[in-house]
Structure 1
Amino acid sequence: MKIGVDYYPEHWDINNIKSDINLMRKTGVKLVRLAEFAWCRLEPAEGVYDFKWLDDAIELFGENDIQIVLGTPTCTPPLWLYEKYPYAIQVDKNGNRSFTGIRGHRCFNSPSMRKFTNLIVEKMTKHYANSKVVIGWQIDNELEANNCCCEHCSNKFREWLKNKYGTLETMNKEHGNVVWSGEYTSWEQVKPPLGGSPHLNPSYLLDFDRYAADSTVEYVKFQLEIIRRNCPKHFVTTNTWFPYYIPNFHKTFKELDFVSYDNYPTTKVIDNKDSLHSHAFHCDLMRGIKRQNFWIMEQLSGPLGCWMPMTRTTKPGMIKGYSFQAIAHGADTVVHFRWRNATIGAEMFWHGLIDHSNVPGRRFNEFAELCNDVNKISAELRDSVIKNEVAILYSSEQEYAFKIQPQVQNMYYLEQLQLFHQSLLRLGVGADIIDWSEDLSSYKIVIAPTLYITNETVTKNLYSFVKAGGTLILTNRTGVKYPNNTCVMKPLPGDFAECAGIVVTEYDPLGEDKLTVKSYNNKTYECTQWCDLIEPTTAKVIATYNDDFFKGTAAVTVNNYKSGKVYYLGTVFSRDYYYDLMSQILKDNNIKYYTELEDDIELSVRENDNGKYLFIFNNSNKLKTFKAKSKYRSIINDTVYGQTFELKPYGTDVLKECK
């Protein structure tokens, strides 16, 4: 378990570098990431390589016992490459090539980009293969799904479609291209979605999104093969985030050693109790990609700004608290972006740990405290993992399909998952957010929100889970589409009607309107966005609509199916409903939860051969009281707490139960 920083020796003179490294050592920094944007310094002219400046920096880090992760610099090719090989630049959906002078505007499929990517990665990996300081590699930087529409990508897209469908006739049928006379008569007619029209065929658009994600995966594999061949002892990862063009996380990381995530929680104080602001969700999703611990490759260090106005600064406790939040949810290493504010370039106001003054201040002092605490407990927590009995299913298929055809105003796929995740946080219960096709046998409860796109494998898997005694939670917009993004012609929820014990007779897309629902416990809850009007076949009604022409119609049901249970939620509720429902479901499944956990107190458990460790985090700017189930000892400060104690704003601790 380590704390590190992102650092850019190409931005600073040697005196800065020496003093920075000396301070890093004193502070307890164990690792730095270097060089992910430094191609123009590593290869200042075609075929001319200069690694001395980087060698000198790496040598200094090594002398101070600080390990190195190197980034392949392919996110930012040098200008000489674009000038000589302009077809290496991406083409947007309007058919225009991107302008140079920014980052991330290279085409993954350009032969010239592939050629020079191969050369620079070969040179770097061979050069540092035997380094005693370099321990691993980050491929590129914040890779998105490849939405380039250049000639090379057009050809790749056609080949992808040919491999999937074989013939134009099959593709025309699967896409339903007869609509609006859209049937193709030659493969040359097939192009990327130029123009970006929202009226294009949804089946075709979903396939382009799948191709774009696969194209990124193929580019990762291209670099991975070089690194593995030349540096077999080094780990390989890449850093990801949640861009508009979200990659397929599970495919992208399948052959990499672990997931790395760039984590920038909000610095704004959130007082709205219905807010879904906690980045614990993102961390759990990252851990779920490979169902193993992960890294944070960029972590919040101060206010954000550059191409947008600056955000609020980090409040006292945020730097340490958000880092421990990530560790609590499975991060084994947290690397802060960045050591010092840049004085040059576009990111001058994307703040680091040290401001432009070059005088360490409040944020840096808090970071130093974080380093000290993590270094103190690292050995005791070595090889600790998270084991949960609840899973939430995630699928990039749903994310893509929801963006292609938004179902109703302000209804977003990820938020449907977050609503359940937030309720579990409030109950002090952990959840794994895993790919929808994963094995479910280790879980008692599986939450599968909005299975809008369905497939036979996932459906069979969920039926098997319920038959074996599991509890499954389904929601509205389930069973709507086949894998080819065409509508299922049967009553909703389609293939899940049998296990859910219901049919949806009609639906009302509420959007921003609000109605109420009366539950079996005689409590009334607010609902919004969507209303499925449910007719039970074998299910029991546990909530009904309280307004509009469908007053009294079932809104939520539960069905006993084989040895398990299936819940179906026909609408989207305010946060309290999920809290009350999940409390009952957890109780029925003998999963321990907290009944008196204050809002914004977040708990997570990591365990190893030394025992179980309770991470506690106050994700608010208010003093909070934690009522524990037994006495605990802090492994950070060796304090023994009673069963009730206070946490400062953004306060955090790691506890072990007293015997």
Structure 2
Amino acid sequence: MKKILTIFIITILIPYSALKAQETNRFFPEKDLVTTGIYYYPEHWNENQWERDIKKISDMGFEFVHLAEFAWFKMEPEEGKFDFIWLDKVVGLCTKYHLKVLLCTPSATTPTWMRLNYPETFVMDGHYIRAENGTRGLESMVNPKYRGYVKKIVAEMAKRYGQNSNVMGWQIDNEPGAVSDYSPSSQEAFRTWLKNKYKTIDALNFAWGAAFWSQWFSRFDEVIIPNTNLVGWWGNNPHALLDFKRYSADAQAQFLDYQAGILRDYITKNQFITTNYTAVCTGSDPNRTTKLDFAAYTAYPNGGSDNIGELGFRLGNSDVVLFASEYYKSVGGVSGVMEIQPGPVNWGSYNPLLLPCTVRLWLYHSFAAGGKIACSYRFRQILYGAEQYHAGMIQTDGVTPSQGGKDYMQFMKEITELRKKFTPGTKMPAKLAARSTALLWNVENYWSIDRQRQTGQWNTWDYPVKFLKIAKSLGAPVDVIQEKADLSKYKVVIVPAYELVDSALVKKWNEYVKKGGHLIITCRTATKDRRGHFWEGETALPIANLIGAHISQTDMLSSYGKGDILMNSNHYSWHSWADLLVPDNASEVLATYDNQFYKGKAAVINHRVGKGFVTYIGVDTDDSKLEKDLLRQIYKDAGATTEEYPPGVFVYWRDGFYTALNYSSADYTVNLPDAAKILIGEKVLKPADVLVWTE
């Protein structure tokens, strides 16, 4: 037990976002715009093909090679016996062909000897069945034996390559996802986490509401990880489950920081440290880390979903890059896509061919949103294994570029041309700055709401994303921010379904509005405290004065129900969620319910606070038209103009370049000013097309 207690030290979680943009320039000079790379797995191929492949990577225009993430078995073929000769050769070939190297720690895939000698290093699932090696990401991050071997392999890699000037940086692990672990190691670490958080068992009992259904504990060693598999989904304690999510995310973050700390003992300051979170992040919380330089993400926009229009199934879901590209910048100020889909995948509900230039579209989306790195999994399509059908940049013959490879080459060639036209120090145009918008999001709210959605028609993930899409459709630059962010930088701040709050956060919102900001708060905000408890009072009690209204009741309709709302003589439909508002005398009612037995009740209100305004949107409409009409008016009231981009069309400004992207299935003509100079593409955007221009 002492070993686990020593390993799982709870740290003060101060995000590493203090890293300023100018400090990241030593990793990604502004003039380069974006640095491109590719995953390569030399362990999959005959050694006599390595040089041919590395040369091909260079000839295609890639700038770095991503290596070693799943190669623990080859670097440590026997316990304690390390072999880096093969990796030395590949790193040397990269140097020969003017390619930088991004090395990855191999902690996601342990070698077979680990299972044979130390089976306790693997996670247990909710049925207390232990996992085995043979796939990835099933190791118990808090197990001391596993941690010890991770330390050895990471240290050996860092000693060997930490001073190599051709190694640009390190990726820790692979797609960290905070896997639920019910193993003995995790049970003990969870109890340690609880002791650090609550100090006394009485405090834990109160926070968990343990008086309900006789869940009371007399001491910490009676506590076990809440298990929906054995207790049942409905019967589980939501507060205990929320803490389990928090513990799992803390364990994941601490594990990444643990490896980063090992690396920093050996590497130069010019080598960055990052990891590649999944684009839809619902398990890990990147803002819990303290030692990453920045956070990257993986993006697989197309896995057999229909998306927009008849061509949508070939173009992918724009939401994937849309949200991730903004959210992950909250860690270190910059981000980028570390792993992007190169073509058809092997795991989708169906796996269609992509429309030519779709991969290029995704790459430009990441770039336009500020991405500093653009890398793709993978160079060659493998001939065997679980991902045979997952496309690569090169087809199965090992030499012929796939369509994704062609898209990537075109993107890299065009970026080379854009670099020539880059002007440092270009400021965002005033018309865009006037629409500057932030969307406040916290994964803990996702955990809390998704556990108790109350209606199957509520989509916890899509709800905040819809506000991001609305703001982008009106031409606003949008940041996805954390609570620590400076709100004064933004004309408009959107707080969508922010369920868990405390007095300090509400005070921060109030100060922002008093100084002239416009705050948009939506339904399901401030309904619980940080423990997940309701307030002993009215619904959303802490924000009642801020929004200038009281929530009397909440309604949800059946799947065939038809709710009607009236605003400015226009009607809007809803059926998912509706707060019935009782506004204060000083508040302005903007929209009312126009049917059901509470017809005439307020659905949306506006409230002046100091120099600013708060708009409370108490309803989730079916097509988001009400929310869009409201946001358009808010920008207008703030003195800003707006655009009208159709669904699937996005326009960004970055470093002096405007970029328009078309995910829709129809042509779209971009309304360019007379002074516009087209650099890439044409004014008429066809599906999957990109247009880049300057003004």
Q: TM-score, normalised by structure 2?
A: 0.89
State the secondary structure of the residue aligned to 1:585.
Answer: helix
Aligned to 1:635: 679
- Would the alpha carbon gap of residues 305 and 337 (structure 1) be closer, same or farther in structure 2, given more than 3 Å must change? same
SS of the equivalent of 2:554 reads: strand
1:316-465 correspondence runs (5 A): 316-358=356-398, 359-378=400-419, 380-381=421-422, 389-465=436-512
1:368-401 Cα shifts (integer Å, max 9, x gaps): 1111111222354487898772000001110111
Residue 655 in 1 paired to residue 693 in 2? yes
For residue 458 of structure 1, give the secondary structure of its aligned residue in structure 2.
helix
Which one-letter code corresponds to 1:51 in the other structure? Answer: F
Please report how far the alpha carbon of residue 560 of structure 1 lies from its aligned counterpart in structure 2 after TM superposition.
1.1
1:178 corresponds to which residue?
211
AA in 2 matched with 1:262? T
Deviations 1:443-499 (A, max 9, x none): 111100112111222111111111111111111112211111111122222211111
CA distance in structure 2 between the partners assigned to 1:382 and 1:71 by the alignment? 34
- Work out which of the residue numbers 580, 584, 597 in structure 2 matches 1:533: 580
Shift in alpha-carbon separation, 1:463–1:288, aligned structure 2, 3 A: farther
User: The residue matched to 1:368 in structure 2 has which SS?
Assistant: helix
Instruction: Choose which of 85, 92, 100 in structure 1 pairs with 2:125.
Output: 92
One of 561, 578, 593 as aligned partner of 2:627: 578
User: 1:349 offset after TM fit, Å?
Assistant: 1.2
Amino acid at match of 1:373: E
Provide the secondary structure at the position in 2 that maps to 1:410: coil
> What is the rounded CA distance, in whole Å, between the counterparts of 1:511 and 1:108 in structure 2?
43
- Contact kept, 8 Å, 1:539 with 1:560, in 2: the verdict is yes
1:506 to 518, 536, 553: 553
The unaligned stretches of length 5 or more in structure 1 are: none
Say if 2:72 and 2:109, in contact at 8 Å, map to a contact too. yes
Of 301, 304, 313, the match for 2:345: 304
| Equivalent AA in structure 1 for residue 548 of structure 2 | G
| Counterpart for residue 550 of structure 1 | 598
Q: How many corresponding residue pairs? A: 644
* Residue 617 (structure 1) aligned with residue 665 (structure 2): no
Corresponding position of 2:239:
203
What's the CA shift string for 1:287-336, capped at 9, x where partnerless? 44236221211012101114x55421221121111100010111111001
Equivalent position SS for 1:441: helix
Q: Which amino acid aligns with 1:240?
A: Y
Shift of 1:513: 4.2
User: For residues 545 and 209 of structure 1, do their structure 2 counterparts lie closer, same or farther at Cα, with a shift above 3 Å needed?
Assistant: same
- Tell me which of 59, 72, 79 is aligned to 1:46: 79
- Kindly provide the amino acid, as one letter, of the partner of residue 239 in structure 2: S
Q: Who is 2:330 aligned against?
A: 289
What is the identity, as a one-letter code, of the residue corresponding to 2:694?
K
* 2:281 pairs with 1:236: no
The one-letter code of the counterpart of 2:442 is S
**Partner SS, residue 512 of structure 1:** coil
Contact 1:510 1:528 in 2 (8 A): yes
CA distance in 2: counterparts of 1:333 and 1:127, whole angstroms:
25
Paired with 1:288 and 1:589, the residues of 2 have a C-alpha distance of: 26
For the residues of structure 1 that align with 2:489 and 2:220, how far apart are their CA atoms? 46
**Structure 2 match to 1:66:** 99
Could you tell me how far apart the structure 1 residues matched to 2:181 and 2:263 are? 25
Q: How far apart in 2 are the matches of 1:485 and 1:218?
A: 24
For the structure 1 residues 295 and 271, does the alpha-carbon distance in structure 2 shift closer, same or farther, using more than 3 Å as the test?
closer
Aligned counterparts of 1:244 and 1:636: Cα–Cα separation in 2? 33
Distance 2:99 2:423 in 1: 19
Identity %: 28
Aligned counterpart for 1:111 among listed residues 119, 144, 169: 144
Change (3 A) 1:589 1:109: same
Query: How much does 1:622 deviate?
Result: 2.5
Paired residues of 2:441 and 2:481 also in contact (CA < 8 A): yes
Distance in 2 separating the partners of 1:100 and 1:109? 17
The residue type equivalent to 1:539 in the other structure is S
Does the C-alpha gap of structure 1 residues 438 and 301 become closer, same or farther in structure 2, counting only changes over 3 Å? same
Match of 1:627, SS state, is coil
* Matching of residue 256 in structure 1 with residue 256 in structure 2: no
RMSD over equivalenced CA pairs, Å: 2.2
* Distance in 1 between residues matched to 2:168 and 2:443, nearest whole Å: 31
CA distance 1:201–1:90, change in 2 (3 Å): same
Say whether 1:590 aligns with 2:631. Answer: no
Deviations 1:13-69 (A, max 9, x none): 133222222222221110111100000000000011111111111111111111110
Question: What are the superposed Cα offsets for residues 382-426 of structure 1, whole Å, 9 maximum, x if unpaired?
Answer: 878987720000011101112322232131332221111111121
Q: Quick one: distance in 1 between partners of 2:686 and 2:480?
A: 29
Distance 1:422 1:412 in 2: 15
SS at match of 1:230: coil
Q: Distance in 1 between matches of 2:282 and 2:122?
A: 18
Provide, for residues 335-371 of structure 1, a one-character-per-residue CA deviation record: whole Å limited to 9, x for no partner.
0111121112111112112222432243322221111
* Per-residue deviation, residues 477-533 of structure 1 (Å, max 9, x unmatched): 122111111111222222111111111111112253443434432111111211111
Amino acid at match of 1:313: L
Give the Cα separation in 2 of the matches to 1:76 and 1:383: 42
Whether contact under 8 Å (1:283, 1:330) holds in the other structure is: no
Q: How far is 1:149 from its partner? A: 1.4
Q: Describe the shift of the 1:276–1:534 C-alpha distance in structure 2 as closer, same or farther (beyond 3 A).
A: farther
Please say if 1:472 is aligned against 2:519. Answer: yes
SS at match of 1:603: strand
Choose the corresponding residue for 1:271, options 289, 308, 314: 308
C-alpha contact (below 8 Å) 1:558/1:567 kept by paired residues: yes
**Secondary structure at the residue paired with 1:653?**
strand
Query: For 1:90-123, what per-residue CA distance to the aligned partner results, in whole angstroms no more than 9, with x for missing partners?
Result: 0112211113211111001111101100100000
Q: Counterparts of 2:461 and 2:326 in 1: how far apart (Å)? A: 11
* 2:259 equivalent among 215, 223, 232: 223
